[in-house]
Chain A
Amino acid sequence: MDSYNVPESTPSASSRPEDYSVGATPLQKRLESIRKQTSFIPTPPRRKVPQCSQLQEDVDPQKVAFLLHKQWTLYSLTPLYKFSYSNLKEYSRLLNAFIVAEKQKGLAVEVGEDFDIKVIFSTLLGMKGTQRDPEAFLVQILSKSQLPSENREGKVLWTGWFCCVFGDSLLETVSEDFTCLPLFLANGAESNTAIIGTWFQKTFDCYFSPLTINAFNLSWMAAMWTACKVDHYVATTEFLWSVPCSPQSLDISYAIHPEDAKALWDSIHKTPGEVTQEEVDLFMDCLYSHFHRHFKIHLSATRLVRVSTSVASAHTDGKIKILCHKYLIGVLAYLTELAVFQIE
């Protein structure tokens, strides 16, 4: 058998991304920027399919029901300095006073707003991945009922919850004085979110940052949530792409029957309990090729903006809605991972 010398680097015509930038077509430029984006993310090549976490046994079902079917805006939060779970009543009082003061300053005036509010801090037991995760907690602004004889608890005006699900990588890096709850979800008026954010930042020396979800992670979410076994489907599986054409914008919505999406996924899926990068890519490529066969449009050249399944739906602007209590922890785990990545 002859041995022959294989040259170390075969000079091939513009195989490196940088070579594309000169005189590249708009499509090539877009592909290059996407490549640059994804190359920085140290994503694991595989993730566990979300399962029911055993810790969910102590979760208050009423509180869980309250968290589902609502749209939450996501933020990442750096660790809180000298936060204590035994001071929740004190924090309620302080935050209450702060909000009233801010609103009276006219900094966040909303016409017709009732200044009669009540702030409540409460813990959310069981909303965690491992025992190491700190306890999640909830902050709510309620309107105080005008009539004292009627139900004391008024209407919930704003809710924010702080949690950490499988946040080991972050927990390992911080000292005892810090409490790590990197994922923050808010529902309610943006002005309230801003005021409460300011108070937390001042009180615990932390920093909020809006958490966006890029197309790469949206694809992962779509694949993982399609992989979840659901008793009955409450929503169709749907994707939304935004096409960067000018001068008019174009949105393409692609809804597929959840049973068919599951059949497609099952046909691709190999390792039980795990989802790999190849499987996610193949799942998306199948959807792209089915679409291309009919419309001759390359969805991969457009921007994935929203994915929606019976488990949850997520929007690239950092908005999430969780529909299935069984996989609540699983969804939060992925979001915690994104939040932790943004902080580091």
Chain B
Amino acid sequence: MDETVAEFIKRTILKIPLNELTTILKAWDFLSENQLQTVNFRQRKESVVQHLIHLCEEKRASLNDAALLDIICEDVDLFDMKQFKNSFKKILQRALKNVTVSFRETEENAVWIRIAWGTQYTKPNQYKPTYVVYYSQTPYAFKSSSTLRRNTPLLGQALTIASKHHQIVKMDLRSRYLDSLKAIVFKQYNQTFETHNSTTPLQERSLGLDINMDSRIIHENIVEKERVQRITQETFGDYPQPQLEFAQYKLETKFKSDLNGSILAEREEPLRCLIKFSSPHLLEALKSLAPAGIADAPLSPLLTCIPNKRKNYFKIRDK
């Protein structure tokens, strides 16, 4: 075995934490079962590594084999579906004696989990299950809202531990449409239109103006309408928007009036407001506001940032 290959393998193995070593070596599938059995993994790491290098030499590891080991190490997730399912189920069952957990794997490395919740003393309620979709190659999971609130922390814990992450954080993003949530979270909503030709002249889109109007008014309107159309297109793009039903803003901002400076001028406290936008298709509705004259263009960044920030629940305070 080449000196450089030996050195490379040694450094790669040194980087692997001891508790993952056997898993990775098994996945590498270069050293045989028999060979691995001869290794005492409880020694000091340096000794383990030396023994492994010796075994690699016996088998004449090539640069390709070393490279393969490197790739396997890089794939940190090294997701083991069976282990995830076992771990997840065990955690829930240990906490609540009565719980029904079922799994279904789909393409795109997604696993659908159904959990029916019971307690120490009652059977699981099969009519109020919680559904979770976990995308194993990503740090994201989607949970249905039909859960009994008290089980949410336990569910979070089970997901975190079983998937070998450190913590779980709830995102401020909710919708009825899983595909839309995926589109926003994985930023997939504009991929199909990357090559759109944006040089189409705006006049081609019908503006519906009456020809009999005063020509000066026509000109002013066209310029403004074109500006609005352009800005709307820049903000939202030409593609269909992901489907969300609502956005909620908790505002705690001071009142500043351009109408009459004296109103609430002495008041230090902000106005506490809760604003909720609801629509069968919120983003499409927001997109149509500026062209309809109901909103200014550009629309407020509080609204246009929803897909980018992947949030539809906001808390806004004065800076």
- The verdict on A243 contacting chain B, using a C-beta distance below 8 Å, is yes
Please judge, given known A-B contacts A247-B284, A294-B300, A294-B316, whether A22 and B276 are in contact too, CB under 8 Å. Answer: no
Q: Evaluate contact between A264 and B288: CB separation under 8 angstroms.
A: no
Q: Evaluate contact between A245 and B289: CB separation under 8 angstroms.
A: yes
Q: Evaluate contact between B289 and A25: CB separation under 8 angstroms.
A: no
Which chain A residues border B217 with CB–CB below 8 Å? 23
- The verdict on B76 contacting chain A, using a C-beta distance below 8 Å, is no
Among candidates B269, B271, B285, B298, residue contacting A290 with C-beta atoms closer than 8 Å = B271
Q: Evaluate contact between B212 and A264: CB separation under 8 angstroms.
A: no
User: Which secondary structure characterizes the binding site on chain B?
Assistant: loop
Please judge, given known A-B contacts A251-B277, A286-B257, A294-B300, whether A22 and B212 are in contact too, CB under 8 Å. Answer: yes
Mask for B283-303, Cβ within 8 A of A = 1, else 0?
011101100111110111011
- How many Å lie between the Cα of A6 and that of B300 in the bound state? 45
- The verdict on A44 contacting chain B, using a C-beta distance below 8 Å, is no
- The verdict on B267 contacting chain A, using a C-beta distance below 8 Å, is yes
- The verdict on A59 contacting chain B, using a C-beta distance below 8 Å, is no
Among candidates B257, B276, B280, residue contacting A289 with C-beta atoms closer than 8 Å = B257
Please judge, given known A-B contacts A267-B264, A290-B271, whether A251 and B279 are in contact too, CB under 8 Å. Answer: yes
What's the tally of chain A residues with a CB closer than 8 Å to chain B? 40
Please judge, given known A-B contacts A285-B259, A294-B302, A295-B303, whether A255 and B293 are in contact too, CB under 8 Å. Answer: no
Please judge, given known A-B contacts A23-B212, A251-B277, A251-B279, whether A245 and B296 are in contact too, CB under 8 Å. Answer: no
- How many Å lie between the Cα of A282 and that of B209 in the bound state? 35
B44-52, B117-125, B248-256: which lies at the interface = B248-256
Q: Evaluate contact between B285 and A27: CB separation under 8 angstroms.
A: no
- How many Å lie between the Cα of A285 and that of B271 in the bound state? 15
Which has the most chain B C-beta neighbours within 10 Å: A243, A254, A298?
A243
- How many Å lie between the Cα of A236 and that of B303 in the bound state? 24
With both beta carbons as reference points, the residue of chain B lying nearest to A245 in the complex is identified as B288
Which has the most chain B C-beta neighbours within 10 Å: A25, A27, A244, A295?
A295
Interface residues of A in 202-254 (CB under 8 A from B): 236, 243-254
Which chain B residues border A244 with CB–CB below 8 Å? 292, 294
- How many Å lie between the Cα of A213 and that of B117 in the bound state? 47
- How many Å lie between the Cα of A293 and that of B298 in the bound state? 13
- The verdict on B93 contacting chain A, using a C-beta distance below 8 Å, is no
Which chain B residues border A243 with CB–CB below 8 Å? 285, 289, 294
B222 to A: closest C-beta gap in Å:
12
- How many Å lie between the Cα of A285 and that of B288 in the bound state? 24
- How many Å lie between the Cα of A107 and that of B45 in the bound state? 89
- How many Å lie between the Cα of A236 and that of B271 in the bound state? 13
Which chain B residues border A27 with CB–CB below 8 Å? 292-294
Mask for B235-268, Cβ within 8 A of A = 1, else 0?
0000000000000010101011111101110010
Among candidates B264, B277, B296, B303, residue contacting A263 with C-beta atoms closer than 8 Å = B264
B167 to A: closest C-beta gap in Å:
32
A67 to B: closest C-beta gap in Å:
29
With both beta carbons as reference points, the residue of chain B lying nearest to A249 in the complex is identified as B279
B38 to A: closest C-beta gap in Å:
68
- The verdict on B39 contacting chain A, using a C-beta distance below 8 Å, is no
Which chain A residues border B253 with CB–CB below 8 Å? 290, 294
Residues of A within 8 A of B (CB): 22-23, 25-27, 236, 243-257, 260, 263-264, 267-268, 282, 285-286, 289-291, 293-298, 301-302
User: Could you jot down 14 A-B contacts, CB within 8 Å?
Assistant: A25-B221, A248-B279, A248-B280, A248-B281, A250-B286, A252-B278, A253-B278, A282-B263, A286-B257, A289-B259, A290-B273, A294-B249, A297-B299, A301-B294
By Cβ-Cβ distance, the 9 closest A-B pairs, closest first, are A27-B293, A257-B272, A23-B210, A250-B285, A296-B300, A297-B295, A296-B296, A248-B285, A250-B279
Residues of B within 8 A of A (CB): 209-210, 212-213, 217, 221, 249, 251, 253, 255-260, 262-264, 267, 269, 271-282, 284-286, 288-289, 292-296, 298-300, 302-303, 316
